Amino acid sequence: MTKVAFFTDIAHLHNALALFPLQGFAGKKVPVKLHMGEKKNPYFVKPELVKCVVDELKKVQAEPFLFDTTVAYHGSRYTKSDYLNTAKLHGFTMKNVGCEVVIDDSGVSTAVEGRTFEVADHLKNSSHIFALSHVKGHMQSGMGGAIKNFGMGGVTKETKIKIHHGSRPVYQKDSCTFCGVCAEVCPFDAISVEKNKWTYDKGECFGCGVCVENCTTNALRNRDADMQFLLACSAKACVQGKNVLYLNELKRIAKGCDCDPNAGPIICPDVGYLVSDDPVAIDKASLDLINDVKENVFLKINKVDPLKQIKYGEEIGLGSSSYQLIMV
């Protein structure tokens, strides 16, 4: 059974990491994969926590650097220079965290489950990776944790777009009852339903797949596959064959993602931190601990079941959902 260490005070990070083979990171250049926040989002992982991680990696003679990829939409992280400016604005500087920040905008095509995903160059070229994931809600995957950190955050713009495109709806009129649920749940008003007419505006569709998830008559299906399946595949493309340690921060748990300047309210009290060497186990433990405090909060609020990414991850061999929680 996979070990997942749980602690509530960051002072215990060292003891939590001691349960895992951190010594193997010695002498390696190690990307610390994290999301450094979209402008105006207040919830992203803070430099103080990142500094603790960087210090632990340096203690074992690793050479860490903060790492992320550019995004597919025109926000404050669209280009490398945009992202570097935003990272600086959010306090991710050499002075504050003790290492440099690297942003990738290109990647290497990698096959998983009959599809290809462009894994960011610095991930592809690293044997050892540290994943620092802020766990929060997400309108497209219910929850964002370690799987999402890589599944969307570890790949190029082109692959991000491909994942969104693959989960767009395909409509089957014969099965539609014109109930209007898809229009109600669509976060971007891309669907309208009036009497016996279903209308879809592709230009407004962000490919979140929420409409497909909520159609009970199978009148909608994904163009390629469920977004959570594609995220699990993409995450596997990023981490397969690598030595990866994962730290999930379960604090400032908002309705929406760190990508969103309007991520909504905090929907669950702070829980703490988890460390593991398995992305599926750490996300399952994160979800279980959050559900213990606020039952099914992500499903209720975002209307997408986050357990799917965990199940898909297990099915494709990304990791195991069976874990042993160790209090540190």
Establish if 206 lies at the interface with ligand SF4 (CB under 6 A).
yes
Stretch that binds ligand SF4, among 18-26, 175-183, 287-295, 297-305 (CB under 6 A): 175-183
Q: Is residue 232 within 8 Å of 148, Cβ to Cβ?
A: no
Q: How far is the CB of 38 from ligand SF4 (least distance, A)?
A: 19
The encoded tokens of residue 67 equal 């790492």
Least Å distance between CB 218 and ligand SF4? 8
End-to-end CA distance of the chain: 17
Q: Which 3-state string (H, E, C) describes 13-26?
A: HHHHHCCCCHHHHC
Q: Facing residues of 118 across strands?
A: 109
75 binds ligand SF4 (CB under 6 A): no
Rule CB under 6 A: is residue 211 a binding residue for ligand SF4? yes
Q: How far is the CB of 225 from ligand SF4 (least distance, A)?
A: 13
Helix ranges (H only) for the chain are: 13-17, 47-59, 80-89, 94-97, 121-124, 146-151, 157-166, 181-185, 210-214, 227-239, 279-293, 297-302, 307-315
CA distance 303 to 264: 15
210 binds ligand SF4 (CB under 6 A): yes
DSSP codes, 42-84: --SPPHHHHHHHHHHHHHTT-EEEEEEE--SSSSTTSSHHHHH
Cα(177)–Cα(198) distance, integer angstroms: 10
CB atoms within 10 A of CB 174: 6
Amino acid present at 210 = V
C-alpha 36/C-alpha 89 separation (Å) is: 10
Q: How far is the CB of 40 from ligand SF4 (least distance, A)?
A: 22
Q: From its phi and psi, is residue 251 left (phi > 0), alpha (psi between -120 and 50) or beta?
A: beta
Minimum separation from the CB atom of position 73 to ligand SF4 (A):
13
Site stretch for ligand SF4 (CB under 6 A), options 4-12, 213-221, 265-273, 309-317: 213-221
Indicate which single residue of 87, 205, 274, 328 sits in contact with ligand SF4 (rule: CB under 6 A): 205
Are 125 and 135 in contact by the 8 Å Cβ rule? The answer is no
The answer to whether residue 225 forms part of the interface with ligand SF4 (CB under 6 A) is: no
Task: Please report how close the Cβ of residue 302 comes to ligand SF4 at its closest, in angstroms.
Answer: 12
Binding part of the chain for ligand SF4, among 18-26, 210-218, 237-245, 288-296 by CB under 6 A, reads 210-218
Q: What is the largest CA-CA distance in the chain?
A: 66
Q: Which of 5, 16, 191, 274 binds ligand SF4 (CB under 6 A)?
A: 191
Q: Least CB distance from residue 299 to ligand SF4, whole Å? A: 16
> Which of 23, 199 has the CB closer to ligand SF4?
199
Distance from C-alpha of 39 to C-alpha of 90, rounded to nearest angstrom: 8
Binding of ligand SF4 at residue 168 (CB under 6 A)? yes
Of 103-122, which residues contact ligand SF4 (CB under 6 A)? none
Query: Which part of the chain contacts ligand SF4 (CB under 6 A), choosing from 9-17, 37-45, 216-224, 317-325?
Result: 216-224
Q: In this complex, which beta carbon is closest to ligand SF4, that of residue 145 or of residue 169? A: 169
Residue 312 Cβ vs ligand SF4, minimum distance, rounded to whole Å: 18
Query: How many residues form the binding site for ligand SF4 (CB under 6 A)?
Result: 26
Residue numbers at the binding site for ligand SF4 (CB under 6 A): 168-169, 176-182, 186, 188, 190-191, 193, 198, 205-211, 215, 217, 219-220
